[in-house]
């Protein structure tokens, strides 16, 4: 079970051909503090909230995945901007700089909780007023940590990525498979084409 409403996380898991359900977890997320601690705390909270809906005697395949992603620059977390003005301020701060995308990932229901923290360095191009106006007009920044989506038009803002690209999208696939390689055993049934 994926304890997230993120269409990006769902798409990454679907691209692997996995069979899973989605049950968004609504929790009060931390927004301040050390980025790794905040992301991991939020991921665990989401997984626990999602796990509250699993039967009291879960089967071996009843696992819950929680994830949280934040953007970290100069000791400050840049979360999801509240409005266009906040998105502009966030993107201006990231402009021409290297920030760290930090994700916490938690898998519950497979014995002891399995957790990991992933870090990916992303360097932005210098963002002109025209480029900022263009990107903000897309509204793609809404609901995105750091105010951008690298898998969409936000790719135009990025100069380089050092680390797991999928972490920047919202699900640190490398770290997830490191802590829970059994995930790949949850394949969808192939349709009968006879």
The catalytic residues are 68
Residue 57 DSSP class: S
The alpha carbon dihedral of 149, 31, 167, 125 has a sign of: positive
Going from the C-alpha of 54 to that of each of 28, 42, 116, the distances in angstroms are: 20, 19, 22
Cα 82 to Cα 46: distance, rounded to the nearest angstrom: 21
- Which contiguous run of DSSP H or E holds residue 41? helix 35-51
Cα 128 to Cα 192: distance, rounded to the nearest angstrom: 53
């Amino acid at each position: 079970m994926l304890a997230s409403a993120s269409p990006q996380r769902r798409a990454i898991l679907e691209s692997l051909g996995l069979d899973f359900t989605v049950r968004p977890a609504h929790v009060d997320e931390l927004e301040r503090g050390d980025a790794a601690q905040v992301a991991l705390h939020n991921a665990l909270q989401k997984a626990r909230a999602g796990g509250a809906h699993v039967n009291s005697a879960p089967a071996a395949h009843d696992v819950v995945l929680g994830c949280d992603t934040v953007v970290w620059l100069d000791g400050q977390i840049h979360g999801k901007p509240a409005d266009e003005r906040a998105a502009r301020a966030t993107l201006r701060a990231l402009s021409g700089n290297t920030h760290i995308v930090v994700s916490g990932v938690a898998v519950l229901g497979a014995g002891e909780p399995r957790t990991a923290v992933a870090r990916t360095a992303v360097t932005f191009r210098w963002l002109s007023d025209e480029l900022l106006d263009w990107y903000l007009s897309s509204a793609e920044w809404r609901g995105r940590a750091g105010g951008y989506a690298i898998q969409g038009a936000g790719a135009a803002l990025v100069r380089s990525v050092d680390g797991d690209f999928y972490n920047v999208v919202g699900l640190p696939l490398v770290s997830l498979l490191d802590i829970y390689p059994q995930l790949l055993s949850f394949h969808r049934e192939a349709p009968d084409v006879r």
